[in-house]
Structure formats: C-alpha cells, structure tokens
Structure 1
C-alpha cells in the first residue's frame, strides 16, 4: 500500500544515491554493510567513487572479461582523479596504497573485481530493502543474528590461542634440544676420561650432575609431550565443534544466497581459520619429527618420546588429512553467464562457469595441482532418464590467487554439456519426474602429496537442473528454489521423488527475495499477505500452513491455464524489463484482488486509480479508476492488461500520463487523477516520465497516446470482457507514431478480468 510516509520516502530516494541512503541507516544495519567491505573492495573506494560506481553495469561486467577490463581501467583513472584533488595528505597517501593494491589484485583478472563490486551493490540494495520492509523473514533473521558474529569472534580468539601455544612449544622443543646437547657433550666428555679417574670424587659429582640433567631432560620431554597432546586435542575439538560447523554454516549460506537470500559471510574468514589451524598442525608435526631426531641421539629406559610419539603423529596426520579434505569447496556454483542470478541451471550447448577453492594455503605444494570435473559421477543407474557428458576440456590446474590472499583455486569458465545419444534413438527409461525435477551433480577431484601425506580431494556442486530450452527456465528455477530452501544436503538427487512441503512463512520469504534480487525491492507485509490469499485462499493467515510442491509449481490455479509460480515468474519478468522505475518507487500495489480493489477505491475521489498485476494474463499489469455518477452510483473502469509486447512500445509512466478516454464522442480526456490513496498523478510519476510534451513547437507534436472508448451504458458492475484488439508490434508502433497524433489503444469499455 502507498501511504504518505512511503510517498515522502520514495520522493526523497529519487534524488539520493544508494550510498547516501546506506549512510542514513540505523547502526544495526550499518554493521551488516561494514561486513561487506574488506581488502578486496575497501570502503574508501565506495565512498570516494560512489556516484561513478553506481552508474556502471557491474552485473554484466562480472561475466564479460572485456567489459570488466574497461571498467577496471576506468576505476583506476577515477581513483587517480579523486586522489589528485584530495587536499588531505594522509587521505591522498591511503588512496595511493589502495590503488597499488587493486592493481596487484585485479590487473590479471578484472572480472573478479567486477564480481566483488556487483555483490556489494546487490547486498546494499537488499539491506536497504529490508530497512523499508520493516519485518524480516525467519531465515534472514537467523542469518543476521548477533550470535553468529559473537561465535566468529570466539573462533578468532580460540585459533589465536592455539597458534600462540604452538609457538611456545617450538621454544620448548628448542630448549630440550639445547639441554640435550649439553647433556650429550658432558656425557661423552665423561666417557673419554681415563678409567683410573672414574672413581674420583670429581667424577662421582659429574655423574650425579649428569643424572640430574637426565632427570630434567626426561621431565621436559614429558612436559612438552603433555602440552602437545593437550593442543592436539584442542585442535581436534576446534575442528569438530566449531570449524566444521562454521564451514557447514557457510555452505548453508551459499545455498540461501543462490536463491536470492543474503550472503553475509565470505570465504576469506574461513580460509584464515583453516590456514592457521593447518599451520599449527604442520608445526606440531615438525616438532614431533624433531623429537624423533633427538631420540636417535639420546634415549633411555622409559623415554616418553618413543612411547607417545607414534600415536600423536597418527592423530596429527589424521587431523591434517581431514582438515585439507574438508577445505576443498565449490566457491562459485555452476552458473550460465547469461543468467548470473539463476545459478544451478544449465542449458545444453551453453557454456557455464564454476570455481573450486582450497581454503588451506599450502606453500609446501611445489607442483601443479590438477582438478578434474565429472558430471553425474557414481550416479545410480535408472536415477535419471537423461544422461549428459562434458563436451569441453574438464581438467584444469589450480593457481595461487594474489587477490584472494594467496589461496589455491581454479575457475572453469568454458564448460559445456551435451546429452548422450542412444543407439535405439530413445533417451532411456522415462521416469516419473519432469525435466526440471531431475537433479544432477558436478564433481571435482584432485590428488596431491604434502609432507609425506597423500590426500585425495573431492567435492561436488549443489544439485543442478539441466534444461534444453529456455522455456524450461522458470520451472528449473522453481526446483532450485524449493531444494535449497528445504534441505541443507549437498547431493540429495532423489529429492523430488518425494519433495517435502514448505511452510508459507518460509516460502513467502524466498518469494520476496526474488523481487529484491530481480526487481530491486522486496515485498512488504501487505503484498505477501495478498500473495498468500492468491495461493492459499482461506489459509492465507496461517504462516505455518504447509504448501506442497505440486500446488506451488505444478497444479494450475483454479480456472486458469497456468500455475501459481508461472504467474508470479511472468510478473517478475515484466517488472525487470518494463516496470522497474515504477516498482521501485512502491507505486504498484500489485497483488490486490478485483474485489479488494473495488473496496479500496469506492470511497475515494473520482479519478483515483491503483495499479495491480493481472490475474488472468501471464505478465500483465492493469489500472482501475473510480468514477461517481450524479445519482451517487460508483463506477469502476479497468483497462486491458499491458503485457511485455505493449510495454516495449511505450514506457508505463508515459502511458499513465497520456492515457485518454473517449466517452460518447466527447473530446478525449485523461481520467487518471490520483494514485491511490490520494497522490496527484504528476506528483507521483512526474520524475519518471520519459519525455515531456512540447509546449511551443512550429508543428503539431506527434505523440502516441493510449486511448480507450468509454461507452455510456457502462454500469457499476463491469460487463463481460469483449475481445480486445491485438497489441501492436514495434514496427506498427513506429509507423503509427510517425504519421498519427494518437492511437486508439483499446476499443473496449470497462475491461473486466
């Protein structure tokens, strides 16, 4: 609903950059903004180049190398310009350092910079949207709670304590080595004495001293081994109770981010924890090796090193093995560059990209680490009716990335799938699942040896949907959303054999994310309530009502030839391509029913209108205005829904401005006066008009004007829908716009859906 507060806020936003809006948020939300910016994209740049950054198409550049290279060069130029104008010496110095860091990080891979900036801008939009929406859903609340931040601080402290303890053990081992060298020297000196001297009092004192040294050496060995054992157990507990859960939490966040949710944590923090933990384990391994060397020189009865070292070594190797194996992750899920906001859907014959990363930095790896990808590895026979293979090169070498703090990673940018052909011409056993319900998987494998340990690495993508036609994209995206919303399993390929239900509170939150991702602004509480009525009817008020997969995506809406999701997806496409300015100003009520529409308008001033999405057309928007007759009757007039074909010819705001009605031969006039509830039309849409009609011109201006014929026999109850004229093609529009002053856009009376 559009109220006075929303209207003032919308008008204020029109003249305010996104960064200025961000700076006016409350502290709670600013903390989330602060988390977005790090060395990969310093906030100083965001501040200094705010307007320029927001005016560039980073989403496209994130998947276009040549465009990313141009933007990277331009960004450095813009930064140099700002730096040269900066009067503050310290700020100028900081900008120079940042400029140099950017060149080191992104000069060879500017696409990565574009992706970082694209993600930051998108997350800023989400945070702004959540500030306007007032109420967050349960999933987003769980991802943005303060407990997670406290847990991460605790993790930082614990890893730091372990590193400190391991460093101290290095000193302890060195002390043992020095003590043993001293003992060894004295012992060998004593042995070299003549036998006649060995019974002297001096010799007896030396033997006593050696025994004391050996006792201290034994004590220090036992003490060091005990401390090592404590640290090893501490690392084991850290990995089990905190590090692995943090990794699983990140993977869950990645799932949520894939379907439009917030991505509040990156991999850099995890990489730091994994790397520091691995460094501690490798250091303990070297300390144990050193103690093993000391035993060769000096040992004795009940020496603790031979007794305890083997078991501790095995434990350390076990922890290293599992730490490194778990650190092999899919950083970027498979995605077609043509649809960057719809990952996990792959079309045959179209290139897609994916990226894997090793979270443990391993300077010991001194050879090329090859990663091999396999499609549907070890898939049980009969699980899917279609089979595919990777057409392009499926092996690449991991490289060290300077811009990601030196981690090992590899990005496959040119993978492509092809469906297997069968000898008999069939595609195998046809299953009960549709094409968009079949789930597939992309696996990644590598093997390497480090410090005598051979480690097999393997990870896999989240389940994929493979399509052969873009018409299957909406159904495929519905499957991706449903899966990643309702399970945290990474490879449950049989999920749609018996898909679980979703509560309306869960589903509505994800649907709102679709609007914030694809249309820039999520749905408010009222809009979600309207959607709930559309899908659930009498159960709309129950947030825990369970929605089945079939009802959401497969069954047609009663009386309509399409499902709920197909209807909603077509609206998203319409907003994205034709209605973004109007939608983002919160002027489209959207999902109100015809009955509610009449209830809202009946007591309003004549000419009050509201905008809602068509319930009978896929991807259509209509407006209805109210009139009052002299005898007090209320009359409602609705226009035929505007679809993408009609809106490609004329911007929607211009349609609102220029709309005319012919009534009984009277001169055409615009019946639209106030946007519901009472906003003057030009006040609401004035800044969105594409062009202003000329007031002074030597010729009569040629303008395309949408006109409806309003017949005198219209009643308060809209008559049955008459067959409207088909929409014009762009070619017809250009021809008419060149020769006519106006066009009769619709020849129906009050149009009823």
Structure 2
C-alpha cells in the first residue's frame, strides 16, 4: 500500500473516531437531560420518593436550574472510599458553586430578583456545608442521580408494554410490595385512631368512676344531717349512684371489647408485617445477596440496595409505630385494670413485635462491599458494611463500632448454629475496627474498612487431596446496636462470602477456581460452605460464560460451538453434538483437581489461562470476532483446507496454558502443488508484551485472509503500530519484526536496488548470519508429528530478541555511520 494512501486512510479513521465521539457525547447530553425532564413527570409514590431525595443538604431548585450541568459531570469517576480523590471532589464542588453564582447573575428583571437571591444563597449554603467534606457532596449527588434513574426506569417499565418479561415481573413484584405497604399504612392508621378512641373512652370512664366515688363519699357523710333532709338527699344520691354504676358496668364491658378488638387488629397487622418482612428479607434481600455473589463471577453488578433500604425503613417505621401503640395499650391496661385476658394478649403482642423488629435489625446488617474472595496475606483490602434501617431507628445517635475477624468454615458453622457465643479467630486482621458513620445526604449508616490487612492465617487440617487453595474462610463482621434510647439492644453478626487465603500470586489461579465454583453453585441457606461435588455440564457452562463475558467487557460470550469444544476437552470426547453433553455431570476433581489427559494442567487452569491472555492483550480482537479460539488442530485443518492459500485463523493452544497460535493454509515450499495447514509456535502474554498480535500478523505477508474470507487489513489495520520516526541525532531506532523464512515474500527494493534481509525470500536450507530484529526461523526440528511445536526445544523468544538486538545491529549501524 503506497504511503500516501496509508496516511489518508489513517486520517479517515481518526476523523471517523472523532465524529463517533462527538455523536456519543451529544447522545449522552440528550439522554441525561431527558432524565430530569422525565423525573418531573413522575406521579404518585414515585414523585413523592423523588421529592424526598432533596432537602437542606441539596435543594431541588439547584437540581432544576443546573440540570444539564449536573448531569454532564463525571460523578461516577470519583472513588468515594479513596481519600486521595478529595481534590477531584473539591474541584467539582467549586465548579458547582461557580455555576450557581453564574446562573444567579443571569437572572434579571423584577421576576428574577428573588430567584437571584435564592440561587446565591444556595451557592453559599453548599459551599459552607461541603467545603470540608467535598466527597459527601459527590456521594449525595450520585445517590440522587442513581435514584432518579431507577424511579424513571420503574415508571417507564410500568407504563410501557414493550419491556421484557423479567422487567415486567420485577415491576409487578415492586407494585405488590408497594400495595402491601399502603395496606399496612392504612391498618396502622386505623389502629392509631381506635387507640385514641379507647384512650378517650377510658379517660371519660375514669372521670365517671371518680364521680361514683364522690357520690359514695357524699352518701357516707349524710349521717350527720337531720333525718328528713338526709332521706331526701340520700334518695337523690342513690338514684344518681345507680345510674352512674349502671353506666360504668356497661362502659367497662365496652372498654373490654374495645381492647379485645384492638388486640385482634394488632394481631392482623403483625401478620401483615411478618408477611411483608418475609417477602423483603427472605426473597428480595436474598436475591440481592445472590446477585452480589454472582457478581463475584462476573455477573451483573448487584443493584437495588437503595430500594431495599427504602423498603426496610418503611418496615422499621411501621413496626415501631405498632410497637408504640401496643405499649400504650399496655399502659392503659395498667392504668385501668379490667377482668379478662388483656394482659396476656398484650404481653404476647409485645413479644411478637419485638421479635419482628429484632429480625429486621439483625437481617439488615449486611455487607455492601465484599472483601476480595481471593485474599492475599500482607496485602491491603477493603470492605463496607451497612445497616439498612440505621437512619430510621436513629442508631447513629449512639454510633456503633464494627469489628472484623476472619474465621474458618468450622467456626462459621458453629456461629450459625449458636454453638459459639464468642468469635474465635483463625488469623489476625490489622485495622479491623471501624465506627459506623451516618451520611445525611443518602440516609445511609455504614462502616468503611479501607485499610485492612491479613497479617497471618491459621489453617486447619486438610482432608485427602484438598489443597490450601480449596480451604475456605469468611470475614465475620459484628457489632451491637441500641434502639429507642437503649430500650432494645441487638448484637448483630454477618458473614462475608467465602474467601480463599493465599500467600503467593502463583496460587491465585486455583483459588479463583474454588471461588467460582462456590459462587456459581452455592444454595441459599446452606451450611457453610457446602457446595455440590458434581454439577450438570450446562450449569458449569453458564458460569464459564458469565466469567468470560465479564472479562471481555462485551456481550460476546461463549457460543454453543465454543462450549462443545470445552466439553470435548473436559470429558475427553470427540462428539460434536451439544445434546450429548446436556445431561452429563462434571465433578470438582475434573474441573480443577485432576490434570487433563497427557497434560500437566487442569481444565480450569487451561481455561483461566485463555481468559487471562484475552483480557490482557486480545480483548478487542475477540470483540471484533477476529479470534475463533476454541478450535482444535484437526478442526482448523478441515476448515482451512477448503479455503484459498493465505487463509488463516487464530486458535488457542491445546498444549500450553495461555497460548494462541496462527494456523494457515499454503503451498508446501519443498513440494510444489502440495497444500498444507501450518501452525505457528503459540504466542503467550510474554510475546505480546514485546509485539502485538496485529503487528505480528502485519509482518507475515503470506497471511492474506482471516477465515473465512476477510482481508486481514480490513480486520487488523486499525490496531497496527504507526511507522517509527526517522533517525534522531544520528541514531536509528531499531524495529522488531517477525518472519517465517519459509514464507517470506519479497518487498519492493529500496532506492539503490540492493535488497535487504527482510526483502529476501528464505528457505529452510538458507542460513542468515544477520538475523537481527526477527524471531528465530522455524525449521522441521521444531515441529512435532502433527505440525505443532515442541516447546521444550525452542528458545525463549524475549531473551533471544534482546540478544539479537545488541551486537549485530549496533555493529552494522556503526559501520553505516562511519
């Protein structure tokens, strides 16, 4: 390709990318601005929730008048748990204040005078509130934007008939929960009204009872009066007393009925509260925890915690209101004892509602950010715990302290069975105490452990073939909360997802296998940390696909053909029919304990090597569809032999962890007319750190078409490294290129007509004393019987390149310079 055409194409690509970026920015502005417009269209409970996001900490007027500016800032780029990000947050605060002041100055005329004063006041208010803690402003605005987006999305899903079935189901569940809350609110309001009626009736009863006592006292004092007067007054007072006592008898019966009716209403309300709490804690919260666990395998990031908190806070509010009502009933009963079972009923109600609130508090002490599941000793790690009802129950008025300890699987079992009252530790964690902080802007009560480090670990005796990377631990977080002015005290504990402790990076691969298997196949409510020894092959496929998609950051996961290839490798099978594997099971030993036949690595180690290679160096090519990858040598040969010479494909090496090779079809240089499929020595991460895949493919002129028929430049040109600059200060910068001598094709001769080494056509018998800047020639002694390479007999490529780059080049350049 002529240089001017190459430059022109590069410029076209550059301008195309710039246009795409501008278009993306425009779409982003339109969509974000539309979010505030849509938020203003919310109705009912959604509108109420949106309005509740704002207050003195961040006025809604600021959101309205700076909508476009607020939504154009990169709030999510600020790491809230990193103190070093405070400077970035401070700039955002200063810019927000400046933007408010600018907006205020633009207000003119009589109508704009008050708005000008108001916006100026808000600018000063925000500056004074967040100047010393700018990260809290970022936390506040992120919470507002995410909550608005959720509310708008839920409203859209509720009104749109084109949403997916999953979203429809989610919307229906949310609607069901919200309707139940409305029913509970009405029931609680009704019992409150009835309680007030009961209180008023009882107060009037007591007044009448006192009146009856006064009449009796008057009758007792009549003995001192003359007989005639005494008889007259006694008759009147006795008649009055009879009337009052009759009323008191009837009213006592009425009061008793009121109390029993109110007790029954409270029992019904408590039944509704239990049902709602079960739905939220045993279904919604468990599902959130399951999503969090699957996120450890690359599943969608767990969301919806703010929704869960809003539900839990509503529960806490309603439970507390009902508890206060029951306590007031108890007080009324003590104030006016009446015959009947009320005392026992109220005692039972009080006990039941205390159990409900206890379950709510202990269940909503959760781990918002899990510690790393592969935990290396002497390495800093972080975690965040959160109490979803902390703000509503005013737990922050007496900020609790949380402690973290690491415990073994056996210790975790004992804790959950309540066989152990004190927390034994299986290791020492530094910086393992943290006070919970209340963030007023978001209404969250949480403890951020930012600088924990596992100093040492105490391992248990392992069973059979179990290795240290199969041993599971967990981080236990525990604290003590007081509610209602120390009226109720709760000791709470929560366990992290299982962690595998390693001491060296070489153990990471096997530890990740243990974590992936646990995350994928753990069942809710299991005994810590039991997982099945065998699972159906499709279940493992789902876990592998989830992991692969996450690492590639794209929707292109593992196809059915890819999964058949993996099944063939796992089960040492030759069947190409996916149905043959659908009911097969794979054991943990097959997954990552037993080596593959003829290899010194396991199925998982091979797969993880592929993932690491792709993630570090080949992700764009996989997402472009340029890498077939999961193809064996025979399949590659069958696919290529029907294609023109120069057609090639990229497949993962069967014999090496984290290796990828190029297979291509071409004439046999030694036997004209004979066509063969050739396989290059597999590349690894080390090779791609020297020269990229795209540049290596560019170097090999005999590679023409990416299978099935795509010109290679069409696929890879955008990834080629630009040509090196000219000599600087008399020095020429060396350039690394690779050749396969048997397939080197001549390039146009440089000016002067003398061919260089890179222009010469080589054959296996040709010796090249000046092979500088290229990879070693491939000769027949490096190929095995199948045309693949014997890795043990080949030279370390990186070291060879370094050796080649030293003396020969330097000597030649010196002679040229002289």
| CA shift for structure 1 position 378 | 8.7
Offset at residue 562 of structure 1 (A): 1.4
CA contact (8 A) 2:628 2:651 kept: yes
Return the structure number with greater helix share: 2
179, 184, 189: which is aligned to 2:201?
Answer: 179
Aligned counterpart, 2:691: 650
Distance 1:78 1:437 in 2: 51
Q: How many Å apart are 1:655 and its aligned residue?
A: 2.1
My pick for the range that moved more, 691-700 or 370-379, is 691-700
Q: CA deviation at 1:52?
A: 7.7
Aligned to 1:107: 134
Equivalent residue number for residue 468 of structure 1 = 503
Which residue in 1 is equivalent to 2:583? Answer: 544
Per the alignment, do residues 633 and 460 of structure 1 end up closer, same or farther by CA in structure 2, a change over 3 Å counting? same
Counterpart Cα distance in 1 of 2:139 and 2:191: 40
Change (3 A) 1:613 1:357: same
Query: 1:534 maps to what in 2?
Result: 569
Q: For 1:685 and 1:184, locate their aligned partners in 2 and report how far apart those are by CA, in whole Å.
A: 93
What is the SS of the residue equivalent to 1:555? Answer: coil
1:325 aligns with 2:393: no
Question: Tell me, what secondary structure is at the counterpart of 1:231?
Answer: helix
Report matched runs for 1:122-521 at 5 Å.
Answer: 146-193=168-215, 194-195=218-219, 196=233, 198-199=236-237, 213-240=251-278, 243-302=281-340, 305-335=342-372, 344-361=373-390, 362-363=393-394, 366-376=397-407, 379=410, 388-406=426-444, 408-419=445-456, 429=461, 431-432=463-464, 433-451=466-484, 452-488=487-523, 492-493=527-528, 495=530, 499-521=532-554
Closer, same or farther: CA 70–615 of 1 in aligned 2, 3 Å = farther
Q: Does the 8 A contact of 1:445 with 1:456 survive in 2?
A: yes
Which residue of the partner structure matches residue 634 of structure 1? 675
Candidates 607, 614, 622, aligned match of 2:661: 622
- 2:650 corresponds in structure 1 to 611
Please say if residues 252 and 338 of structure 2, whose CA atoms lie closer than 8 Å, have aligned partners that are also in contact: no
Q: Within 1, Cα distance between the matches of 2:19 and 2:649?
A: 21
What is the Cα deviation at residue 359 of structure 1? 2.0
* Residue 86 of structure 2 corresponds to residue 69 of structure 1: yes
CA contact (8 A) 2:513 2:604 kept: yes
Aligned to 1:571: 610
What is the aligned length? 666
Q: Cα gap change, 1:696/1:587 in structure 2, threshold over 3 Å: closer, same or farther? A: farther
Contact 2:143 2:442 in 1 (8 A): no
TM-score for both structures, normalised by structure 1: 0.75
Contact 2:140 2:441 in 1 (8 A): no
Cα deviation 1:59-82 (Å, max 9, x = unaligned):
xx577441x335545656787899
Question: Secondary structure at 2:370's aligned position in 1?
Answer: strand
Q: Deviations over 1:461-494 (max 9, x none)?
A: 2221111111000100100011121113577456
The structure, 1 or 2, with the larger RCO (C-alpha pairs under 8 Å, 6+ apart) is 1
- Kindly state the Cα deviation for residue 647 of structure 1 after the two structures are TM-superposed: 1.0
Do 1:675 and 1:681's aligned partners in 2 also have CA atoms closer than 8 Å? yes
Once residues 482 and 469 of structure 2 are traced to their aligned partners in structure 1, the CA distance between those partners, rounded to angstroms, is 41
Larger mean Cα displacement after TM superposition, 199-208 or 44-53: 44-53
On the 8 A contact 1:701/1:741 being kept in 2, the answer is: no
Structure 1 residues 364 and 596: alpha-carbon distance in aligned structure 2, compared to 1, 3 A threshold? closer
- For residues 279-338 of structure 1, give each alpha carbon's deviation from its aligned partner in whole angstroms, at most 9, with x where no partner exists: 222211211121222224434334x63342111111111222222222222222212xxx
1:687 maps to 2:718 = yes
Counterpart selection for 1:556 from 595, 602, 612: 595
5+ residue gaps, structure 1, are 1-10, 25-33, 124-140, 336-343, 422-426, 661-669, 743-753
Aligned partners of 2:650 and 2:141: how far apart in 1? 36
- Contact 1:503 1:545 (8 Å CA) reproduced: yes
Instruction: Give, in angstroms, the shift of residue 206 of structure 1.
Output: 5.4
The residue that corresponds to 2:158 in the other structure is none
Q: 2:490 aligns to what SS in structure 1?
A: strand
Aligned in 2, Cα 1:477/1:75: closer, same or farther, shift over 3 Å? farther
Identify which of 553, 557, 560 aligns with 1:523: 557
- Give, in whole Å, the separation in 1 of the partners of 2:711 and 2:73: 33
User: Cα–Cα, structure 1 residues 689 and 191, in superposed 2: closer, same or farther, change >3 Å?
Assistant: same
SS of equivalent residue, structure 1 residue 379: helix
Aligned to 1:27: none
TM-score, with length taken from structure 2:
0.70
Q: CA deviation at 1:267?
A: 2.1
Q: CA deviation at 1:415?
A: 2.3
The structure having more radius of gyration, on CA atoms, is 2
Q: CA RMSD in A?
A: 4.9
Deviation (angstroms), 1:437:
0.6
Q: 1:475 to 1:307 in 2, by over 3 A?
A: closer
Deviates more, 1:707-716 or 1:537-546: 707-716
Which residue of 690, 697, 706 maps to 1:675?
706
Q: Partners in 2 of 1:721 and 1:603 — Cα distance?
A: 24
**What is the rounded CA distance, in whole Å, between the counterparts of 1:523 and 1:105 in structure 2?**
46
Aligned partner of residue 622 in structure 1, secondary structure? strand
CA distance in structure 2 between the aligned counterparts of 1:465 and 1:563, rounded to whole angstroms: 19
CA deviation profile, 1:222-278 (whole Å, cap 9, x unmatched)? 322221111012222333455323222222222111221123543222222222222
The aligned residue for residue 595 of structure 1 is 634
Match of residue 789 from structure 2: 721
Provide the secondary structure at the position in 2 that maps to 1:728: helix
Q: Distance in 1 between matches of 2:186 and 2:132?
A: 30
Contact 2:430 2:455 (C-alpha < 8 Å) held by counterparts: no
Aligned CA distance change for structure 1 residues 483 and 111 (closer, same or farther; 3 Å) = farther
**Contact in 1 for aligned 2:650/2:663 (Cα 8 Å):** yes
Deviation at 1:735, TM superposition (A): 4.9
Displacement after TM superposition at 1:685 (Å) = 1.7
User: In structure 1, what is the Cα distance between the partners aligned to 2:441 and 2:727?
Assistant: 57
Contact residue 247 and residue 270 of structure 1 kept, 8 A: yes
Deviations 1:198-217 (A, max 9, x none): 54766665555555554544
Q: Deviations over 1:667-691 (max 9, x none)?
A: xxx1122222222222212222232
For 1:704, the equivalent position in structure 2 comes to 736
Say if 1:262 and 1:606 are closer, same or farther in 2 by CA, change over 3 A.
same
- Equivalent residue number for residue 30 of structure 1: none
Structure-2 change in CA distance of 1:222 and 1:113 (3 Å): closer
SS at structure 2 position matched to 1:443: strand
Mark the CA change 1:381 to 1:410 in structure 2 (over 3 Å): closer, same or farther.
closer
